[in-house]
Structure 1
């Protein structure tokens, strides 16, 4: 197969050093997988279980986890296929697969979907923070949108920090806050159960509204979405041949935690379960500390979420004629200053645009389900099987082709119906 010429983007194409032998142990890889997948979306799962029913939600999490795991393995198989060809040794990323399979349109499609998914994640961060702050500080005249816009100057300043490594401690803090919040919610749930404050019979196993099923499915897809890191995680492992087993083990534990957390949250609060479970917590100092910790963690990790979006935008801008003219000018120092000013202004505008979008979002749960049903479903299911069929179709057995086609069609139908249902029904 001849090599297609493809443009490069920092988000999609790592530095050459990323192709070196990995050093991560099995335990470190499990930790990296969990950190890459588990995020604030898990705090919306009890609401998804309320919408779908506790048994339907559990089945949905299992199916989503299995499908995501299968498609991640397909990506690795595609990369190995291309790596086995001498002239395509350097092909190691998700974006490269799109380019090799469909040419430049494939790269543009992959970039666009990754761009939209990170924009969606960034908006979800702002909505989450806004809703929690609004529930904590009920100041007269301040809406959720008001709290979101109060964050804008802080997020603009943080987006100007050049090194993402500076945010590493805050990323760890955000992960610890998530775990702390989950543990605290489970404790509250158990107290509700022990105190006899709910009846198990009052909790529905399956929803009466069929529209609730794709809604919960979109939430589950969002919670499992981590495809941008699949190939990087596999490459980082010292014993890469063991990665499928490590991935399977990680997904098993993640799915189990998701199911238990969703069930506990729904059982405790029933029809009163809110789209962010922390909003159901009592207003004591411990619960307030949990919410503030989550908000601080997300506020300082927002630049990490939005950074890939900035890279794509800046990568395109630098190819424009006016940037080229700046570089060709004799006054090199002024070029550097002007170029940096343009980048800083671009990042500021990006944060403002995301904040404006977040101010129109009706709720965290609805938005997360929409992102999961649309762009995450395409990234997680449709693209991987498309790449797999294109690159390895001729060598696949009939049942493998049938399974790929089945996942492809289900992914497309889910993306279409799930998006429509979320927009129209909620």
Structure 2
């Protein structure tokens, strides 16, 4: 079977409510412009102004490239298997299923690994959301009460509203919450920029580069902020003209240009404004005694609270899909609600165990987003390029020209570099984050 045959997967897709390129761009921007952008000044605190700027651009390019090769591999595998579309996990499975013979027995295991990685990543991000809400709320309550209330009490108080949001089983019922969250995020982001640029930031006394021990925290935070890999395939699969996703200028190119530019700008000027006092979220640096700053903290807390439902929905659907076949049909409804409640409780317990925003963001970025956003896409691209022209035969694809062989070697070398970079970020970032958590405690 030749990948270059006449089968066009886009012509066979039947999406009930397809998105335009503009709709796909909006979804991709929404997935990437979340709480991570508020953590970028803290990343620059660890990376420095000059190094942070250059490294953010480099990491942004690598993350964008990983999205590109994942979607491009999915298109190749759709043609190879003659199917209209593939999810992230199905793409990974198809790559191993049609790849070199020694790798094929692992196809199902790879699919399950990707599903579990997605679930764990989103649950971990939900823990970050809880910590974020608690810290924002604590600052406002403390200033009005005159007390210094333990942040863990705020985390515990979130349990009931989070249980209510986690019990929503239909995605359409989360739409009003997402709409309200978007409005709150836009307002809070605009007011935050006002505070950052209200006075000219002083760059003279800021570090131009971080120490070696701080760089793993920088990279882990930036990777956490940049990555929206979990929604890429759903967005691309829902587009009425999927070819516009990877075109230039296309949805991916435009979205990531905006994302990287905003992240670099906020990181640079946020750190220039607050220096070594920069906190895990820049909103926590706003002057709490001012009513407008208090409004920003409340708005961002409400926005993240409402976003929790959507953040929680994705991994719970994956978890339920894996568990459902082993549960009798008459008990499935009760069991699903029980699983949702247990999952919410676990995220709250984890958040209460590590109630410090900066280190937990770095840890989630290093451990989970490095795997899901960098290692898996590069591995899928490499395995896809090693396929057999006829995956039922035992003859590998023949590269007939020196130029084709050179391109193939370059592709594998590039994928190996991305995997190595992600592995270093994973190990060093996780180690540094855990050390910082232990130091904070």
Q: TM-score range by the shorter chain?
A: 0.7 to 0.9
What are the ranges of 5 or more consecutive residues in structure 2 without an aligned counterpart? 2-11, 97-105, 387-396, 400-406
- TM-score, normalising length from structure 2? 0.84
- TM-score, normalising length from structure 1? 0.86
1:20 to 15, 20, 37: 15
What is the CA–CA distance in structure 2 between the aligned matches of 1:379 and 1:342, rounded to whole Å?
Answer: 28
- Taking structure 1 as reference, are residues 228 and 346 closer, same or farther at Cα in structure 2, changes over 3 Å only? same
2:354 maps to 1:347: no
1:285-364 aligned within 5 A: 285-320=291-326, 323-324=327-328, 327=329, 335=330, 338-364=331-357
- Taking structure 1 as reference, are residues 152 and 49 closer, same or farther at Cα in structure 2, changes over 3 Å only? same
- Taking structure 1 as reference, are residues 402 and 44 closer, same or farther at Cα in structure 2, changes over 3 Å only? same
Q: CA contact under 8 A between 1:21 and 1:238: conserved in structure 2? A: no
- Taking structure 1 as reference, are residues 241 and 340 closer, same or farther at Cα in structure 2, changes over 3 Å only? closer
1:391 matched residue in structure 2: 384
What is the CA–CA distance in structure 2 between the aligned matches of 1:58 and 1:343, rounded to whole Å?
Answer: 45
What is the CA–CA distance in structure 1 between the aligned matches of 2:237 and 2:168, rounded to whole Å?
Answer: 28
2:206 maps to 1:203: yes
Deviation at 1:355, TM superposition (A): 0.5
1:143 matched residue in structure 2: 150
What are the ranges of 5 or more consecutive residues in structure 1 without an aligned counterpart? 2-16, 328-334
2:325 aligned counterpart, secondary structure: coil
2:259 matched residue in structure 1: 254
2:260 maps to 1:267: no
2:127 maps to 1:128: no
For the aligned residue pairs, the C-alpha RMSD in angstroms reads: 2.1
Residues paired across the two proteins, number: 392
Deviation at 1:120, TM superposition (A): 0.8
2:24 aligned counterpart, secondary structure: helix
What is the CA–CA distance in structure 2 between the aligned matches of 1:362 and 1:160, rounded to whole Å?
Answer: 24
What is the CA–CA distance in structure 2 between the aligned matches of 1:339 and 1:80, rounded to whole Å?
Answer: 35
1:8-407 aligned within 5 A: 20=15, 23-85=18-80, 87-100=81-94, 101=96, 102-138=106-142, 139=145, 140=147, 142-193=149-200, 199-207=202-210, 209-244=211-246, 245=248, 246=250, 247-283=252-288, 284-320=290-326, 323-324=327-328, 327=329, 335=330, 338-393=331-386, 397-407=408-418
Q: CA contact under 8 A between 2:382 and 2:411: conserved in structure 1? A: no
What is the CA–CA distance in structure 1 between the aligned matches of 2:29 and 2:376, rounded to whole Å?
Answer: 23
Deviation at 1:21, TM superposition (A): 8.5
2:99 matched residue in structure 1: none
1:84 aligned counterpart, secondary structure: helix
Q: CA contact under 8 A between 1:40 and 1:178: conserved in structure 2? A: no
